[in-house]
Amino acid sequence: MSDTWAGLLQVAALVLLLAVSYRPLGDYMAHILTTKKHSRVEKVLYKTMGVDPEADQTWGTYLRSVFAISAVGVLLLYTLLRVQHHLMMALGMPKVNADLAYNTAASFVTNTNWQNYSGENTLGYVAQATGLAVQNFVSASVGIAVVATLIRGFTRNRTDRLGNFWVDLTRVLIRLMLPFSIVFAVILVACGSVQSLGDHMTVVHTINGDQSLYTGGTASQEVIKLLGTNGGGIFNANSAHPFENPTAFTNLIEIYLLLVIGFSLPRTFGKMVGSHKQGYTLVSVMAIIWVGSLIFSTFFETHHHGINLADGHAALEGKESRFGIPASTLFMTSTTLTSTGAVNSWHDSYSPFGGGAAMFNMMLGEIAPGGTGSGLYGILILAIVTVFIAGLMVGRTPEYLGKKIRPTEMKYAALYILTTPAVVLIFTGLAMALKGETASISSGNLGPNGSPSPHGFSEVLYAFTSMGNNNGSAFGGLSGNTHWWNTAGALAMMFGRFLPMIWVLALAGSLAKQKPVPETEGTLKTASPLFAGMLLGTILLVVGLTYFPALSLGPLAEGLH
């Protein structure tokens, strides 16, 4: 079979898997988020937590519950990392430094999973499984809970009650994340991923002397890292490491896992608002962006001439032989269009436009399909902006799903749209202005006089784009494990995660208070190809253009020189 056909079939197989999952998974998630019945296990859990599952919360209470579990999560994970040398299966690893522990705790609780450490020589097995993996589960489920609340803002009328955070969280964890993870973890092990626990590392007698082999609960953590669009690797090399991602088959499964919830949530949305067409409209926009970006990146990687190399020899730098270029760009596109940030190849070594596309994917706000929950609330905000712009054009009060988009709603939407770019660009500017901090750019990417090359600037821009959007992938040449980068990074990740959540929940509260407006002749049809096109345009213009000046200093300057 020719390489082109193999590459196309690979994409087709993935699309088929996702398409088959769309209805059943989307409907199942809608069921989880709307049913009145609590299972027996859940009742026990609510009792243990000391919460009343029947209480209906206001958006403020819901938000404070999100903050409470996140604050507890950061403290718990921080403590665990600081005392890991006293835990079982620590493998002789010392405690994690204070600033690195803080950065890592913020990183995993915000669903970013930026890694300033290298797993196999920093963390014991218990810290990985009970610390990082638990946050993988919880942070992903918090995202779905928040988007459920926004959808309820559309479906409920004249109320200030939007659901119960503890119920949403528990159900998503117990009914969705856990069973999925068990099944797929076993599949990964069957394909060669490792899963063993022990107090010592296995010794391997190689030709060059003995080496210690780190294994741990890799498969179990790998699955939730992808399913929950987290991305923090067990190993430094993340999903490029053969123990995490042993074959091109597991590679396909892993890409499926990181996309499947994001691409199925529009169905959940359609089901909950009572119009599947609304879901299809959103998922088609997501799919168009995903396919477009994939074509763009694959083209530049396969026509990669390595700027400096006359005979072109650099396209496989930072890529694995079992994946090759198509399976690497497929992973890269999917991981940066969701908030995953797991990598099976190093984005730093991609061609200038390939790496630039990875950055642009994140800059779009990770909405195609985006992180678990966060992708859908991101694109819903953009849909609101779109109906607003359309309303201005024809001079009508804009409406979306029977709710008026008034100045209050637009203020929250505008704040949402502005928050992430502000975080990304302010922190990038700060890092570039501080002479000491540009020293973290990898020396091979500095120009002759020690000033950053366009690619060096890209490393910094990529870092804050990734952290501000809670992605977690990196142009890995940057040495982020310093006091300044650990601290600034943790702040960027928390602003990028929690400020938008405030705007989303406040918006949900304000929508739910309204009474529904009946649909008339003049109402803009939001389940139509026309609206999908307008939404696509809004995404590219409103969000994409914000970053154009920054992109032109980095990947564009590098690629066009």
CB of 181 to another protein, least distance (A): 7
- The reply on whether position 436 binds another protein by CB under 8 A is no
Residue list 43-62, contact with another protein (CB under 8 A): 45, 48-51
- The reply on whether position 297 binds another protein by CB under 8 A is no
For the residues of 90-136, what is the DSSP string, one character each? -TTPPPPPHHHHHHHHHHHHTT----SS-GGGT--HHIIIIIIHHHH
Q: Which two tokens stand for residue 150?
A: 């926004």
Residue list 15-44, contact with another protein (CB under 8 A): none
361 contact partners, CB below 8 Å, separation of at least 6: 293, 333, 336, 337, 368
Instruction: Give 452's strand partners.
Output: 446
3-state class (DSSP) for residue 193: coil
- The reply on whether position 131 binds another protein by CB under 8 A is yes
Strand intervals (E) in 165-317:
202-206, 209-213
Residue list 416-435, contact with another protein (CB under 8 A): none
Residue list 484-543, contact with another protein (CB under 8 A): none
Among 56, 280, 299, 306, binds another protein (CB under 8 A): 306
What are the CA-CA distances from residue 418 to residues 319, 358, 422, 459 (Å)?
Answer: 35, 21, 6, 22
Residue list 167-226, contact with another protein (CB under 8 A): 169-170, 173-174, 177-178, 181-182, 185-186, 189-197, 202-208, 211-215, 217, 219-221
Instruction: Give 446's strand partners.
Output: 452
Among 108, 154, 235, 485, binds another protein (CB under 8 A): 235
- The reply on whether position 68 binds another protein by CB under 8 A is yes
Look up tokens 């939007």; give the residue. 162
CB of 204 to another protein, least distance (A): 5
* Pick 121 or 397: Cβ nearer another protein: 121
- The reply on whether position 248 binds another protein by CB under 8 A is yes
* Pick 249 or 548: Cβ nearer another protein: 249
Look up tokens 């969705």; give the residue. 176
User: Total residues contacting another protein (rule CB under 8 A)?
Assistant: 122
Residue 478 sits at the vertex; the CA angle it makes with 365 and 236, to the nearest 5 degrees, is 85
User: Contact region for another protein (CB under 8 A) — 357-365, 372-380, 440-448, 535-543?
Assistant: 440-448
Among 335, 438, 453, 466, binds another protein (CB under 8 A): 453
* Pick 210 or 521: Cβ nearer another protein: 210
Spell out the alpha helix ranges (H) of 110-227.
125-126, 133-155, 165-171, 178-190, 218-227
| Cα 263 to Cα 240: distance, rounded to the nearest angstrom | 24
* Pick 37 or 205: Cβ nearer another protein: 205
Among 30, 69, 106, 367, binds another protein (CB under 8 A): 69
